[in-house]
Each structure stands twice: as structure tokens, then as C-alpha cells.
Structure 1
């Protein structure tokens, strides 16, 4: 056995010799970003060791680090096997503790008619708790006004928990955190693979349930209420996240025809999942549209009341999975695209989550000078998703990046001198310097092209299926925690959305949470949305014969 000490947390763990630093970190509860889940291909999990400890690790296939990085004592956590006691410095920001997560979203007003109701019986001195009219439990004394529920937005990357007073219909507190499943895999497909094995499923389930319990405790403490007065939890998330949180094998989502094995639009006992609320508490799983269009989108459609719109409206939740719906004359089409993790800052050389020091805004002045804004106003250490979109959009608009996605030559006549001097080479390849220590590479631009091309292709097929020209769209609603931080200009400049949508784009925030609150506050909404999802026409992009052609066309800026 060997000891691995993680700094600056000061947490240590004993592991078997030959264990990788990444595996040791997971055993110690230390989060090190590893988008490729230890496949030694992304290069994101670099950590630093003291010189005397380098000889106590053996690396396997680690080739993503530069000579300069190796000279600073850096190794890839997923590739470095530990064969002696070592200390490991996890870079600031890599532990992902202080993420900037959007928790607010637009929501239509609903009548207060919750599934959970209470009735005080003065003749017996007890309060009855009902779920949908059925008796769940009895409590001593008059607790009729103490009735609360929770909405959990289970995102692939983040968790948002909202505590709601069911008697008054108001939100009392909200809290957010990183989804701990990110320690094991960043994307949905990797989690399906892990969760298809009993041990892997339990690891992913217990991790997310533990963090949800911690967040529920946090909001309950903030509102000064007991957890035993929380009677219902709404799980709002994509279909895979619901499977994992409920402890249901997600294997069927990873193979055609991508069907859910989890019964949604249904309740399960909270105690059976490990969620720590009232003993007879319930978890409601909202209806889903398909294996890859989940309850988060159903909640989003409810939040913006898309089906009631008299206009032609496009709803897009931008993230690792680009889920979208189009409404015209009361009819809805929906699809999902695999945009990949670039929008989360992953697969990007200096990409990072939306934490302190991440570049989140970029603009180019008339003279070509660069203006950058970082989260918390600190020195730039990386680029988060919104910053990445801004940067690429500005470089496209100022001719630094051509329509084909390639950097132009520094002597290009359309290029201002100040921008030209930022086009340099690193490791023999062209990059654009943002600061002396952070830059955008040609490979990074390619990742943005692939991500935005996937979403644009999904939009084009929805428009085609509905026989709607882009010019007919009266509104484009951008949902999601990531989408909330974007700018409309960047979306049309890079071509993620058609140019015809300029001036019609509105950001609606975290509708997975706000729509989930509507489920919590009005039981009729659940029936209504269950009926609606049965009418949605799912557009399966895998069955579209010319998808490749449309996707390639969508890559251009």
C-alpha cells in the first residue's frame, strides 16, 4: 500500500501500489476533471508532483503534455501509476468547487394545486398527509402549514436543488453543485457504459444521491425547516440521469432503438432511492419524450408553454446533448444531437468549467485590441464555454478565422496589426494568444465547429420536418445553465443558429428547474404534459439519409 496526499486540501488516501493518481483521487473524494474518463486522450487531468516524487510514479501512454509542462513536474493523473508515497498538487479551479451555475429560469404561472396536501384533524390532534388524495402518513399536532417539496435538476455536469413551500407556492432556497458522476465520466455515453454494470451503476447512483441529500440539507437549513417536512421530490433531468439516480440499468439507452426501461410519469418511494426526506416521501419522475429527449425538456416545454404558442417557436437546450423542439400551429417536433463536451470547455486546450479565472466574455475593439472578462475578475487561467463561443465569434467577425474554420495567415490584408501579432505558433502549430499563458488552437476551433454543426444540423432537420423556413421563426428560446451565459450575437455569428433568427433570440434560463417547480405545485400539469409528450413527433437524426451532408454544411462559419 502507498499513501497519496492531495494538496491544497490536505486529504490523504491509502491505495494499492499501481493505482493511478486519478483512481486515488476518486477514492479520496477529490474531483480532478477527466473528460475522457481515464482513456489518456484529453490531457485535462494534469497535476503537479514535487521533483523527489516523480520517480515514484510510472506513466502509461501519456503524450499530451509539453516538455515545458513536464519540466514543471506535471503528469497526467489518469496515466500516472503510484509506486510510492507521494504528494499531489491539484491546480486551483481543477477541483471545480466554485462553479458559476444558473439556477433561475422563466416559468408560466400555475394554479396552486400540489400533489401533496395536508389536513389537520382537531378531534384526534393529528395531521394527515396525502399524496394525490391517498393517505401517506399521520403526524402528531397541527403541521398543516408545514408542507414542502424539492425540485432537483440533475444535469450531466451540474445539480441544482430548489426548496418550495407547497402551501404558499414560493421558492424558499436554492443550491447547486457539480454532479459527482463527472469524476467518473463527463458524457452520457460513458456513464451508460459504466452504469450497465452493477458495481458501476451503484457507484454512479450513490454518488449523485449523496450530493442531492447534501444539497437538500443545505436548502432546508437555509429555510430553517426539518427534512421530515419535505414530502415530494421532482427529478428533472435527461433520461440517462433519471435512470442512474433511480438505480435503473441504463444499458438500453446505449443501443438501438434507445428505449427507456424506467417507468416515467410515475412515483417511486424516496426511501428506496436513499433520498433522505419524510419517511413516506415520494419522488416523481416526469414524462419523457424519448431515450434522448428527457424530463428536463418536458419541464422546459411546460415552463415556456411552448404548445400554447400561436407563433412558430424554436426551443433549444444547449449543452453536451443539444435537445430542441419546434412548435408550429400547436404541433411539436423534437430531436436531440450529440454536440459533445466543447460547450462545457472540454476537449479545448485551455478549456475549463465556469469557475474562477475562466474567460467568460471576449470582445475586439475597432483598433483590434482584445478585451477579456473572467469569472471573479481574476487572472485568466482558462476558457469556459460562453467565453469560447464569444472568442470564436469575435475572431470570425474580425476575419482571424475563415469560413472554413482555419486561422488566416498573420500577413492577411484584412487583419489588423494588433490581431495579427496574436497569431503565433506553439509547438509548431498556429494558435491565437488570448494572454501569455492562455491561447486558442486550431484544434479548439475545430471542436467548436463540430459542436455547433451538430446543433445546427438538428435545427435544420426540425425546420425541414415541419416545412418551416428559418425566416418564419418568431422566437428562438435558448434554455439551460450554459445557454444562459451566451450572447445572441455569438450564436448567429458562428452559425449555430440561422442568420434569419437575429433579433428573435431570447434566453429563458434553467427551465428544467422552473418547469419542475410547476410539476411540484400543480398536479394537473403532470397529466397535461404526459398527454403532450405522446403527441410530440420525434425526429430521429440517425434515420435521416442525408444527415452527413447537412452536418458538413453546418460546419462552416
Structure 2
């Protein structure tokens, strides 16, 4: 037995000989996030060994020679050989109370579409006494009142044995996202929101994407653990909702859930394995009700859970609920695109009554995961980047030194690097063309610092995996063959050839190589630190392991590999959009509007989305943000039972587009890996 002292928790954890740190820590209640599911490819489960000699190196392209010597290891691969002390990064959850959490960025955009929250019109659920329902009066004061629940899907009233006269019927709207979970408590008589709670999805410790979680839940033990994680967290959120509003959980009689199909089945303890391989069967029924205990929810025993229609194995009830916020989508005189910007990248299109849907495996890069310095939205995360003349300004959450970048800042960052000439259209970092010679001098970038040859960073088909073995995910890797635009495990990690490049390392810049100025920036609610890189600042471009990296903090950087991951993600989404429009026989100019939903999409700049090629030309002016449409749509379904009838009928003729069935799929995908050429006028 090997003893590991775990800091900053200050506890001792026994590890079996030959056991990985990840498995040993997991047994002790310490769960380290493994975005790739613990396969050793993403580099996300970082830990530091106080004595590096006690834990052999875990070779990975994201670990430099210097970091390896300083003790950086990957928990899923690290096997200790002697007693030692390790330091955890902010990527763990401790079952006994300690955890590392991020915040859910929220707020209201100036350009967000206004939505009026209507009171209950035709509630799906109402509660009445037996005498009220029958129109009679009680015969005796001693006669106990009998409360019954009348549900639009139940042919008979349901007795509420635990109901009290002081209770008011309430409902909970739930959004179970791959990354975050949001809940809202509603008074079903008035439609008023009484409280809201949100948190990170605790399942992230077993993978940031649905395919990793499907794989983890493929055993009975894995399924039980994944179901318990989400059910326990939902019950915790519901308890908080009731505590904050002075309500009882026994008052909750109606629940709606918006989620992708994998999250739905895991929440209901249904094996998600059929979603991971052909023919992609969905085993959870939708457009119907379930008893609340099917999802392990501690509410009124007679409470019902409504699951909105599921359009396809990869287009879940969260998208259905979100479409309710877009009335134009159901207008047969208009053409409307709906895009949910998350790890799955669902897309819906209405062209004058002809409706299509599809999904793309965008992966977690746009949410900050799988990148060298990617992180969640919390103190130290860059959340916004602005290119202002010869200055590049980074807005950082809180008052801490920048540690990395979260999803809301990545699109801005890449757009700024393109505009400043640090990235060329092929995605090569620090390859500035003739047009940007002035930019090179403004930002202090010398020719010797470019250092990237076409062979090393060129956007060749083989590098991006244009072959089936690298780009189209195989049945074994993504569960959807080439029929889903899944990026294989290489989306997170590197090939063996890339790992071997560790032999040629160079030291990362220290403070003398890269200095930055900290300024105060007044945000809407609280000040943020801002880093300004300008012509007086030494160049932020340096080399790490023979590849160029852009430093935006003492250790925080964006690497060439990171840019490739972003290209893969934006190429996947853009290809889905282009094929949808092409199939419908229209162009972006023909669209009346573009709705962008999702917690990630909510904080994006449409202009920068177009600049990096995530959206087609002429799209920015058509964008309407609708925030977390899943939770807002679920609220509508909770308040108004007629909305359930409407959405079920409206989506009956929705056609699913299988992207990779198109002969133009791979051609368009490879083309869309490139960034737009900013030299050419649009």
C-alpha cells in the first residue's frame, strides 16, 4: 500500500500498488475531472507530484519537459511507486464537502430578444378538494378534506394524501445540460417564478462529452453512479429552491425536463448504450409523463414529470423546449435558423414550413475544455477579448492574475488574433502575411519569432484528419460512424507522433520575456482586471516545445494545438449550418433571423462568430440571442399545458438530416476548417 498526502485537502489516501492516482483518489471520494473519460488523451486530469521521482512521468503533448521535471502528471495514467505528496489543481470534487466549482455566467444582453412571461393560461395540473371539484359542500365540519390533482394527461383525478390546505401547487422546470444544470420553482396558480438555482453537472468528472459518459455508464455500476450523481444534485437544487422560497417539496406536483437524450436516460437510470452505436435507439419515451420517482426526485409522491418531444437520438427535449421561444420558427411564411451552441451543436431550420434538424459534435473546445489553458467561468478566467487598434484587451473575471480562458472568451480571442495577424486563414499561429506587416511591428512580433513552417502547422487534410480514421468518428470511437460529425478522441489528445515531439523542448517565457500591464475595467456589476498588450509590450508570442504559443498571462497561453481544436469545433458547426441551408435550397441571405441558444452562445459576439467563420457571411446582423432557451421553454411548458399540445403537433413533420450522408460533407468540412481571409472584403 502506498500513502499519498493530498493537498490542498490535507488528507492521506492509501493507493494500491499498480493503481492509478485517479482510481485511488476516486475510492476515497476525490473525483478528478477526466474530460476524455480517463483514456489519457485530453490532458485534463492534471496533478503535481511534490517529489517527481515517486511518480513516473505520464507522457503527453500538453506536458512540457519543464513541467514534467517539476512533477506534472495525469491522474488517469499516473501510478505512484512510493509514498509522496500531490497537489490538486482546480479540477476536482471532494465527496466530503470540498469542491472546485465555476460560476454560471448570467445576466441580460442588450441585444437579447425580449420575452414576456405569461401567467398560467391552461395549466397541466391543478389541485382541488373533492367538494370543490364536485361543486358540493361538506356535510360536516368533522369531515376531512380530500385533495385531488387533476392532470391533463390523466383520465382520473389523483388523490393527494399528503396535501395540506395551506399548500399551493408548484412546479419545477429543469434543464440538464452536459455541462450545467438549471432549475426554477414556479407557482402553478400564478405562473410566478419563486426561486432559481444552477450548478455544474456533477457528471463532468467522468467526461465532458456525452460519448465519454455513455461509455462510463455501459456497466451497471457506472450507470448507477451516473444516475445517482445527477439525481442527488437535482434533489439538492430542489431543496434549495424550497428553502429559499418558503415552500415544501410536497407542494411540487408537476415537473418539466429539457435535456439531450443521454442526460435524460442517465437521469432516469436508463442504459444509454444504444445511443452510442447504430441504429442509435432512444429508449426513453417523450411527449409523455413519468412518475417523479422514476427520476429519483424527492417531491410529492404523486408528482408527474413531463418530457417534451425528442426529435432524434441527438436532438433532445432541450431543443424542443427552446424552440418555443422562437415563434418565427413556426411561421410558415419565414425562414429561420436555430442554433444551440453547446458540446452537441444542435441545429434546426424552418424554410416556409419545411423543417429540418441535425446535430454536430462540436466538442468542448468552445466551452474552454480540452485547451491548454481552458477553464470554466470563475476568477482568473478571461471572458472577453477586444482588439482596439494596436491594443488587445483581455477582460478577466475577478481581481486575480489570469489563469486561463473560458468559453465566452475563446471566439473573441481567436477573432482578435486573426484581426491582429497572429493567425492566418489556415490557422497557423504567428504566420503574418504582407498585409499585416504593420501589425507585426505594432505588436512586437519579429520574423524570428514566427518560427512556424508550412510543414509543421499547415492545414493539410491529413493533419485535420480528413480521412475516415481521423475526422469521421468510427463506431468504436464516437458511436455514430461517419453519420455524426463526431471528432474522434484526437479532438482531445494528440497522436503518438505529436507526443514524441516532446524530445525537442524550449523553456516557456518568464516574466522578463513577457510583461503585461494590469488595469481596472468597470463592468456592469463589478470591476474586472484587464490585460493590455500593445506596441510597448514585449511580444506575447513565444515557443513551447518547438511550437508557437500566445501567452496572455504568466502561464496562461493558447497553443497551436488549441487553435486546431477550435478549428475542428467551428468547422463541425459551420458544416452543419451550410449543409442544412444547401439541402433547403437557400443561402444565409434568405434567412429572416438566426436564433442562438445555450449558455455558451448567450455570451458570444455575433460579429466575431462571423469573423472566425463559425457563422456564414451576412449572418451577424440576423442574430437574436435567446439565452438558456431550454430552461425558459421548460418554464412555458410548466405554466401552460396547451404549449405541450402545440409543440407535440408542430414537430411531427420535422425531418432529420444525416450530415455525413451528403457526398459534399467531407469537402465542406475540410473547407470550413480554415478561417475567413480578412484581406478579402466581404
Quick one: distance in 1 between partners of 2:433 and 2:589?
A: 38
Q: Does 1:450 align with 2:568?
A: yes
What is the distance in 2 between the residues matched to 1:13 and 1:236? 39
1:145-198 deviation per Cα after TM superposition (whole angstroms, max 9, x unaligned): 511111111111111111111111011111111111111111111222222322
Superposition deviation, residue 381 in structure 1: 0.2
Corresponding residue SS for 1:18 = coil
1:99 aligned partner: 103
SS in 2 for 1:151: strand
Secondary structure of 1:415's match? helix
Asked whether the equivalents of residues 237 and 294 of structure 1 are also in contact (C-alpha less than 8 Å), the reply is yes
Q: Report the equivalent of 2:258.
A: 236
Query: Equivalent residues in 2 for 1:196-211 (5 A)?
Result: 196-211=218-233
Aligned residues: 554
Shift of 1:511: 0.5
Aligned to 2:372: 349
Aligned to 1:525: 643
Cα deviation, residue 452, structure 1:
0.6
Instruction: Please state how far the C-alpha of 1:476 moved relative to its aligned partner.
Output: 1.1
How far 1:239 sits from its partner (Å)? Answer: 1.0
The partner residue of 2:554 within 405, 429, 436 is 436
Tell me the equivalent position of 2:338: 315
Is 1:218 the counterpart of 2:240? The answer is yes
- Counterpart pick for 1:415 among 431, 435, 439: 439
Tell me the SS of whatever aligns to 2:647: helix
Once the two structures are overlaid, the 10-residue window that deviates more, 427-436 or 471-480, is 427-436
Deviation (angstroms), 1:92: 3.9
Cα distance in 2 between the residues matched to 1:216 and 1:398: 48
Which segment drifts farther, 122-131 or 297-306? 122-131
Q: Provide the rounded CA distance (Å) in 1 between the counterparts of 2:107 and 2:17.
A: 42
- Equivalent-residue separation in structure 2 for 1:18 and 1:229 (angstroms): 51
Query: Does residue 412 of structure 2 align to residue 390 of structure 1?
Result: yes
Q: 1:252 is paired with a residue of what secondary structure?
A: helix
Query: Is 1:544 matched with 2:566?
Result: no
Q: Is the 8 A contact 2:175 2:318 kept in 1?
A: yes
* Number of the residue aligned with 2:322: 300
CA distance in 2, matches of 1:107, 1:248: 35
Aligned to 2:77: 79
How far 1:321 moved relative to its partner? 0.7
8 A Cα contact 2:217 2:271, kept in partner:
yes
Structure-2-length-normalised TM-score: 0.77
1:358 equivalent in structure 2: 381
Query: What SS does structure 2 have at the residue aligned with 1:321?
Result: coil
1:219-265: CA deviation from partner (whole Å, max 9, x where unpaired): 11111111111112222101111111111111221122322121111
Structure 1 pair 283/254, CA: closer, same or farther in 2 (3 Å)? same
Measure the CA separation in 1 of the matches of 2:148 and 2:286. Answer: 27
- Other structure's SS at 2:227 match: helix
Distance in structure 2 (CA, Å) of the matches to 1:437 and 1:141:
58
Q: Is the 8 A contact 2:2 2:80 kept in 1?
A: yes
Matched, 1:326 2:349: yes
Contact 2:249 2:298 in 1 (8 A): yes
CA distance in 2, matches of 1:161, 1:103: 16
Deviates most, 135-144 or 103-112: 103-112
* Counterpart for residue 187 of structure 2: 165
What is the alpha-carbon distance in structure 2 between the residues aligned to residue 348 and residue 205 of structure 1? 28
Find the residue that maps to 1:376 and give its secondary structure.
coil
Tell whether the 8 Å contact from 2:54 to 2:83 is kept in structure 1 after alignment.
yes
Contact 1:2–1:16 (CA<8 Å) still a contact in 2?
yes
Q: Which 10-residue stretch deviates more, 399-408 or 411-420?
A: 411-420
* 1:534 alignment partner in structure 2: 652
Deviates further, 68-77 or 255-264: 68-77
Q: Does 1:126 pair with 2:244?
A: no
The corresponding residue for 2:586 is 468
- In 2: Cα distance, 1:362 partner to 1:325 partner: 29
Q: Can you give the 5+ residue segments of structure 1 that lack an aligned partner in the other structure?
A: none
**Superposed displacement of residue 491, structure 1:** 0.5
Equivalent residue in structure 2 for 1:117, among 120, 126, 131: 126
Preserved CA contact (<8 Å) 1:93 1:356: no
Q: Secondary structure at the match of 2:394?
A: strand
Assess, with a 3 A threshold, how the Cα gap between structure 1 residues 88 and 112 changes in structure 2: closer, same or farther.
Answer: farther
Which structure's residues are more often strand, by fraction? Answer: 1
Name stretches of at least 5 consecutive residues in structure 2 with no aligned partner: 93-98, 132-137, 139-143, 446-538, 676-682
Q: Which residue of 2 aligns with 1:35?
A: 35
- 8 Å Cα contact 1:457-1:547 kept in structure 2: yes
